[in-house]
Amino acid sequence: MANIYMPRKAEILSIIPQTDIDYTFRLKSNIMPKHGQFLQVSIPKIGEAPISISDYTDEYIELTIRKVGTVTDAIHELKPGDFLFIRGPYGYGFPIEDFKDKNVVIAAGGTGLAPVKSIINRYYRNPKEIKKLNILVGFKSPKDILFEDEIKKWGKSFDVLLTVDNGDETWTGNTGLITKFIPDLSIESPNDTIVIVVGPPMMMKFTCLEFLKRGIPEVNIWVSFERKMSCGIGKCGHCKINETYVCLEGPVFNFTKSKQLLD
Amino acid sequence: MGIELDVKSFDDALKILSKDYKIFAPIRLKGKGSFSDTDLVTYGEISSYRDIELSEKSRYSPKEVIYPITQTLFYFTEDEYKEPEIDDKGIIVFLRPCDANSYLKLDNIFLKNGPYEDNYYKRLRDKVKFFVIECTKGFSTCFCVSTGSNKFLDYDVFFRFDNDKITCDVKNDEFSYAFSGKEVEFTPEFIEKNEIEIKLPDVDKISRNIEYVFNHELWDEYTKRCIACGRCTVSCPTCSCFSMQDIFYKDNPKCGERRRVWASCMVDGFTDVAGGHSYRQKYGERMRFKVMHKIYDYKKRFGTTMCVGCGRCDDVCPEYISFIKIVSKVTDAVER
């Protein structure tokens, strides 16, 4: 029986700084995950942490990692040619097949843009897969903006709204929380619109509520949760919320389910 | 049909079995208790009848025989990984029916939850042979009858220890060679009534009133009383949560090991996530999470209550918090 806890080596092909504390690590890998799945990423001697996959091809995967703890601090010390250790992918991703021929709205806050970036790029490559894509992305400040070039690129094909909570003297774009812009969003047919919301817990809660006010049925709203995990496979218990294991039944949840996740 | 043994023939059997098996049973460690001049009753390897402690409930359960407190998952050197070897010997565990049932509860998590079996658990679990100790009276905090864990029929050998008179029923023929003595009529008995009886809440009723139960004021008491020490979960035979831990060796920092260590939903840090968020910060919320896991959501998932009614959590709580009373309060709340 293969040892499921044993990670495999993945070479770092390149490292793309996004902000002072967020770097995208491109790893040599032929994993073809579902959008929204995650990996258990580790450095021997330091530890292991769940990281969502921000993009992939059949030759590499990308992980956008914020420097926020012991493991991620150590990952940020690595150079191209070094190795990260991975196992997975784990969890359920977005049921992308069900989104075909629909209007899709993706609302992402901060690093929450990482787990949905591959979906946006998928639609960028195959725009006819859906009717229309609206993208709302919010960051704390201009210096926290991730994937700036890609956001500009997406803007050529889709309606993209970029906002920051607090601008600075050079900022001429939108300011305010994502929720501020939802009332004015063009949503032609709520029943035919899929909404994906990923970000910090408070942002997800209030963003979902705003979309409900716009008449989007609960069943059309999808979210992705972040939880600590030691196993990623339903054993360690850290990610359990009430009766739900985020690693097994998530991290992607339909709103009808996520609203029942009482903590 | 049973076999009557005296202490010598029992010890002879242990000697024979010890060639192929490591043998675990409740033992008494003199002076190792929490307080001065007290003993610790726990699980350990035995070699004779006199090593087995039968008069007192073990503070720790036999779960660490198959799920050690600290377990090395692999060693790493500069360019290779190595899984630790395990002993070739089988494992015999002397345990009461509640604890034998607790192994089945752990099986559900480690072998059946999610798409993968846990290798490290399975390779020890597959070795286990159940030598069940007859338990007809229990202890003052036991409630195994209420949780349906008072019986365990899938034993390999069943023992009645009546002072120094030992009777056994060898169900697994694999062990027949070790036990010899006078054949006697013997029917294993199980406890039919504990001093404590509790009514477990109906799972469907909880489901229908989930928000009411979760937000019930009964949990507030434990925010005040519980000190989040985690003793209840460490002593629990069915608690299975763990954290990962990497270490490296001081004399060669390029080498080290990845371990898993027991964790507890009751203690700080269990739900920490990146960026400083954490969940269930109130101790009452943690208590609710633990209790509901034992009596509600585990049952929904696996069709059986997780708690085996051993009562160890009540025995060890330094704040005298009673799991039994909490369960009764939950039952009362849903039966309102």
B230 phi-psi bin (left φ>0, alpha ψ -120 to 50, beta other): left
Chain B: residue nearest A248 by CA? Answer: B114
- R_g (Cα) of chain A, nearest Å: 18
pTM assigned to the model? 0.93
Chain A: residue nearest B296 by CA? Answer: A243
Nearest chain A CA: its distance from B265 CA (Å)? 8
Say which of B118, B245, B274 has its CB closest to residue A66. Answer: B274
pLDDT in tens, B316-329: 999 999 999 999 99
Per-chain mean pLDDT for chain B = 94
Contact B263 A1 (CB under 8 A): no
H-helix or E-strand spanning residue B243: strand B242-249
> Which chain B residues have a beta carbon less than 8 Å from that of A47?
244-246
> Which chain B residues have a beta carbon less than 8 Å from that of A42?
246, 258
**Rounded alpha-carbon distances, angstroms, from residue A224 to A16, A161, B65, B233:** 24, 20, 38, 30
> Which chain A residues have a beta carbon less than 8 Å from that of B273?
226-228
> Which chain A residues have a beta carbon less than 8 Å from that of B292?
242-243
Q: How many CB pairs under 8 A join A and B?
A: 119
Nearest chain B CA: its distance from A219 CA (Å)? 20
Interface of B with A in 296-325 (CB under 8 A): 296-297, 300-301
Q: How far apart are CA A167 and CA A144, in angstroms?
A: 11
Say which of A4, A45, A228 has its CB closest to residue B271. Answer: A228
- How is A34-62 classified by DSSP, letter by letter? PTT-EEEEEETTTEEEEEEEEEE-SSEEE
B245 bridge partner residues: B259
H-helix or E-strand spanning residue B25: strand B21-29
Nearest chain A CA: its distance from B255 CA (Å)? 8
**In terms of DSSP bridges, do strands A103-109 and A132-139 run parallel, antiparallel, or are they unpaired?**
parallel
B42 bridge partner residues: B27
> How far from chain centre, in Å, is Cα B182?
34
Nearest chain B CA: its distance from A195 CA (Å)? 25
Helix (H, G, I), strand (E, B) or coil at B140: coil
- Residue found by looking up tokens 């591959």 in the block: A118
pLDDT in tens, B250-273: 888 889 999 999 999 999 999 988
Q: Is the dihedral of CA A207, A208, A209, A212 positive or negative?
A: positive
- Residue found by looking up tokens 């409900």 in the block: A212
Taking Cα atoms as reference points, which of B94, B93, B33 lies closest to residue B59?
B33
Mean pLDDT per block of 10 residues along chain A (263 residues) reads 89 94 94 94 92 94 92 94 94 95 95 94 95 96 93 94 92 93 92 95 93 96 92 95 93 93 79
Q: How far apart are CA A132 and CA A109, in angstroms?
A: 20
Q: How far apart are CA B100 and CA B61, in angstroms?
A: 10
- How is A115-131 classified by DSSP, letter by letter? HHHHHHHHHHH-GGGSS
Q: Is B77 touching A (CB cutoff 8 A)?
A: no
Tell me A251's DSSP state: B
Contact B242 A263 (CB under 8 A): no
Give the type of residue at B307: C
> Which chain A residues have a beta carbon less than 8 Å from that of B258?
5, 42, 44, 48
Contact A6 B81 (CB under 8 A): yes
Using 50, 70 and 90 to split pLDDT, how confident is the model at B75?
very high
pLDDT value at residue A1: 66
Q: Is B186 touching A (CB cutoff 8 A)?
A: no
Say which of A228, A230, A237 has its CB closest to residue B273. Answer: A228
Show Cβ contacts of residue B77 under 8 Å, excluding neighbours closer than 6 positions: B254, B255
> Which chain A residues have a beta carbon less than 8 Å from that of B214?
242, 262
Q: How far apart are CA A42 and CA A8, in angstroms?
A: 10
Contact A227 B76 (CB under 8 A): no
Query: In this structure, what token pair is assigned to residue B181?
Result: 């003595």
Query: In this structure, what token pair is assigned to residue B60?
Result: 């720790």
More confident residue, A15 or B81: A15
Nearest chain B CA: its distance from A46 CA (Å)? 6
